[in-house]
Chain A
């Protein structure tokens, strides 16, 4: 199947860490991506991880990959109001990307 699953909502206090989770389906996916979408905008590539890695860090962003469980997570350290958005994970499936439903991240002041 092609279902990539994410929780729909996440609320986090400003300054705390946010952890957004994703379960993907295709163990042969080569790359897994995280995109950010702000209201009225397109998709902004945040980061990606190759399937033979288990962790990638990029400034405030940390991606963890558990290939055995097909679980991907995105941790945003020191969450700010500008991080409010919908976050999509995506896996490569053949020649295309298959996206999760998106997680709406809300920052509580």
Chain B
């Protein structure tokens, strides 16, 4: 069974541009969450989607957005990129939302560098 797949793995963008990251969860999983990992702030929750609905959102500006499709695949978008958005963006997949107590698997992440 394939794991969580994230694309692209690496990308470089310029300040002011926007970026879209994609995540395909494990087959059968309906919950997708996104996390940002930076050396300074560690792992921080961005948002969670279940059945195409955003159920929870972390403390990030409105430039960060996401969506989930009917096949459970998810995308996140960051507009008007800033240098501080450089990070590893991790997608997590589970059968149900985290509070339901089920195993949560992560992808390899998308490394974003903003120059």
| Chain B interface residue number, banded | 20 to 34
A96 CA to B4 CA, complexed, in Å: 17
Once the chains bind, are B33 and A50 in contact (CB under 8 Å)? no
Assess whether B12 is interfacial by the CB under 8 Å rule. Answer: no
Once the chains bind, are A97 and B99 in contact (CB under 8 Å)? no
Assess whether A84 is interfacial by the CB under 8 Å rule. Answer: no
Interface of A is mostly: strand
Once the chains bind, are A43 and B90 in contact (CB under 8 Å)? yes
Once the chains bind, are A31 and B108 in contact (CB under 8 Å)? no
Once the chains bind, are A92 and B101 in contact (CB under 8 Å)? yes
A43 CA to B90 CA, complexed, in Å: 8
Give how many A residues have a beta carbon under 8 Å from the other chain's beta carbons.
Answer: 22
Q: How far is the CB of A70 from chain B (nearest CB, A)?
A: 18
Known A42-B90, A43-B90, A101-B42; judge A95-B106 contact (CB<8 A).
no
A45 proximity list for chain B (CB < 8 A):
103-106
Once the chains bind, are A31 and B101 in contact (CB under 8 Å)? yes
Chain B's closest residue to A94 (CB) is B99
A42 CA to B10 CA, complexed, in Å: 13
Known A95-B48, A102-B42; judge A35-B106 contact (CB<8 A).
yes
B45 proximity list for chain A (CB < 8 A):
96-98
Which residues of B from 67 to 115 have beta carbons under 8 Å from A? 88, 90, 92, 97-99, 101-109
A7 proximity list for chain B (CB < 8 A):
none
Once the chains bind, are B48 and A99 in contact (CB under 8 Å)? no
Give the one of A30, A44, A95, A97 with max B CB within 10 A: A95
Once the chains bind, are B97 and A42 in contact (CB under 8 Å)? no
The 9 closest A-B pairs by CB, nearest first: A43-B106, A95-B56, A99-B43, A42-B108, A96-B45, A30-B101, A42-B109, A31-B101, A42-B106
